[in-house]
Structure 1
Amino acid sequence: MNRYFNPTKSDLFTFRSLNVKKYLAIGIMTSLFITACEDEVLPEAGSLADKTPPKAGFNYSADPSDHLIINFSNASISSTTYSWKFGDGGTSTSKNPSHTYSTEGTYTVSLTASDKLNASSSISNDIEILKPPLYEPFILEPSFEDGQLEGGTGDGRDSWRVSGGNRPEGMGGVIQITSGPVRTGKQAAKFPTNNERAGYQEVVVVKDHDYVVKFWYTMKTSPTGSLTISILNGPVSDPANVAGATIASKTVSDQSDANTYIEESIEFNSGDSDLIVIYFTNTDVESRVEDVSIDNK
């Protein structure tokens, strides 16, 4: 038996055909493998995982002009796109949106922050929308008593002074103080018959809000005269400008009993002013004023 293979021409042809087919198959498989790798976009050699994925976060505050308008401040990190849900059906994709709610209440606000690799982070917080407490204006030395200012100071009329000299050339000299008749305490403001004095006090208020000023007054039975309270839309130093600055005014003239105080009031809207002036003047008859107050309507 021949231990060595001695191929014939036919054997060599068969062998070569088999090897060509084998190499073609290997080539096709290699091509498929390379194509599959390109479609999958495998990470490059030495690439690192994202060490700064997005983290959602936000703060919020009510707008000074309207407590129903909420301004959101985005505190997210490593993010480029944002999706907000405001809890009332409203949405936004802005980074720092503002949203107007229809009413007070508690709303669940959600924020999803994403980056360019489509990684995302979400956060939800409850926010409570409350109507802010109404500012309560106040009057200094309202009953014209001594010691009503800070530290027990004040002579009952310090808060009612205005510079510029006596009326009518100036805004008015300082009011006088009387010990009788009085309604409460020991003192009241007095406006003598010469019409030179005035009570003037600046009061902080809220713009475009309704107020009522109340006061008690009495006046002598003669001569015939009156007492006027004016609400001015800001500080005034020239009496010629009083009429143009007047928001509201009221003149009273009950002279039936010089010893009995009568309550009166005047209502007004502050309009564009956040600082108004209460301005008392008299005409021809001695008048007294007590217990001045201002309240929200």
Structure 2
Amino acid sequence: MQKFKDIYSKYLNTRYLSLLVLSLFVITACQEELPDVGSVPDKTPPSANFSFTLSEANYKEVSFSNLSLSAISYSWDFGDGTTSTEKSPTHTYAQDGDYTVTLIAKDKLEVTNTYTAAVSIAAPVSTFTPEILNPGFDEEGSDSFRDNWRNGDLGGVIQITSSPVQGGEKAAKLPSAGDRIGYQLITVERNKQYTVSFYYTMKTSPAGSIKVAILAGNVTDPTQIDAKTIESVTVNDQTDANAYVQGTVSFNSGDNAQVAIYFTNTGVEGRIDSFSIEEKQN
């Protein structure tokens, strides 16, 4: 019986000790600080990122594509003093220049991440160059060096001369009757500024002139020449019949994808040679 009492006493002591240890653990745990707001580790922090494209219609307009991950709000700084909170905004810059664009992405735990990229705003450089065919009347072709310069609706075809010439071996000749014309339709870009250059010479008498005009599109009615003229120049240097003088006519193509180079003479025999065209840069 005494042995049983001793075993039971040890059992109670062990049970009391276990309860005491458990109580101390609970008290200690309760005394530890609870985590503050935002102190929980962010297992999926935000990652800011974006790409952008420039509009073909307006090179100053930029569309931004938000590529950020694990974010719910966004703050954009476009580098020109303007901002946005849209996810994927479109922004139009007022001036050309280099801008640093910054995106701050934030998640629901107020954790942020920043991404920056450089955006260059500059007018696109045109790679298109208008072409004048047979510009020096040196290509014999199928029309005795007059290929690409004929328009029978507007006047007689030009003659060809081998002396004097400005370059190459041939030039266009305009008899004094003034009833022959040169005409060529060329492709240009809309709303561009161009300069057409040429060389001419005329007999020293009688007094006369050569007119070079740029016409809007294709013209087949001679009564419409004046109405279709974008720009023209009339030249009349008769100092030396054997010396060519350069002439130019500048024009804006406006809404025309094609323009025509048209030339004729009045009162005196003349020659014209070496046409060229170039775009004038702003």
Please classify the TM superposition score into its range, dividing by the shorter chain length. 0.5 to 0.7
1:141 partnered with 2:134: yes
Aligned partner of 2:64 in structure 1 is: 73
Measured in 2, the distance between the counterparts of 1:141 and 1:104 equals 41
User: Once the 2 structures are TM-superposed, how far is the Cα of residue 182 of structure 1 from its aligned partner?
Assistant: 0.6
- Structure 1 residues 101 and 290: CA distance shift in structure 2, 3 A: same
Aligned residues with identical type, % of pairs:
40
Aligned partner of 1:199 in structure 2 is: 183
Number of aligned residue pairs: 238
1:217, 1:288 within 8 Å by CA — same for their partners in 2?
A: yes
Deviations 1:43-93 (A, max 9, x none): xxxxxx998x865443323334554x1312314266664321112322122
User: Once the 2 structures are TM-superposed, how far is the Cα of residue 179 of structure 1 from its aligned partner?
Assistant: 1.1
Aligned partner of 1:127 in structure 2 is: 119
Q: 1:161 aligns with which of 150, 155, 161?
A: 150
Structure 2: give runs of 5+ residues left out of the alignment: 1-36
Aligned partner of 1:268 in structure 2 is: 251
2:161, 2:173 within 8 Å by CA — same for their partners in 1?
A: yes
Measured in 1, the distance between the counterparts of 2:163 and 2:194 equals 30
TM-score, normalising length: structure 1: 0.65
Measured in 2, the distance between the counterparts of 1:120 and 1:236 equals 65
Structure 1: give runs of 5+ residues left out of the alignment: 1-39, 41-48
Amino acid at match of 1:98: H
Q: 1:245 aligns with which of 228, 247, 251?
A: 228
Give the superposed CA RMSD: 3.6
Measured in 1, the distance between the counterparts of 2:74 and 2:223 equals 59
User: Once the 2 structures are TM-superposed, how far is the Cα of residue 124 of structure 1 from its aligned partner?
Assistant: 1.7
TM-score, normalising length: structure 2: 0.68
Amino acid at match of 2:89: N
Aligned partner of 2:91 in structure 1 is: 98
Deviations 1:245-285 (A, max 9, x none): 21211222333432221222223333343433221122343
- Structure 1 residues 278 and 60: CA distance shift in structure 2, 3 A: farther
Q: 1:230 aligns with which of 193, 206, 213?
A: 213
Measured in 2, the distance between the counterparts of 1:134 and 1:227 equals 32
- Structure 1 residues 174 and 104: CA distance shift in structure 2, 3 A: farther
Aligned partner of 1:293 in structure 2 is: 276
Measured in 2, the distance between the counterparts of 1:267 and 1:188 equals 22
Measured in 2, the distance between the counterparts of 1:276 and 1:57 equals 47
1:203, 1:275 within 8 Å by CA — same for their partners in 2?
A: yes
Aligned partner of 1:87 in structure 2 is: 79
Measured in 2, the distance between the counterparts of 1:161 and 1:123 equals 61
- Structure 1 residues 264 and 124: CA distance shift in structure 2, 3 A: same
Q: 1:255 aligns with which of 213, 238, 254?
A: 238
Alignment of 1:1-150 (within 5 A): 56-67=48-59, 69-76=60-67, 81-94=73-86, 95-105=88-98, 107-113=99-105, 122-133=114-125, 136-146=129-139
Measured in 1, the distance between the counterparts of 2:91 and 2:112 equals 22
1:173, 1:197 within 8 Å by CA — same for their partners in 2?
A: yes
Measured in 1, the distance between the counterparts of 2:220 and 2:91 equals 42
Aligned partner of 1:188 in structure 2 is: 171
**SS of residue paired to 1:159:** coil
- Structure 1 residues 122 and 281: CA distance shift in structure 2, 3 A: same
User: Once the 2 structures are TM-superposed, how far is the Cα of residue 228 of structure 1 from its aligned partner?
Assistant: 0.8
Higher mean displacement: 71-80 or 271-280? 71-80
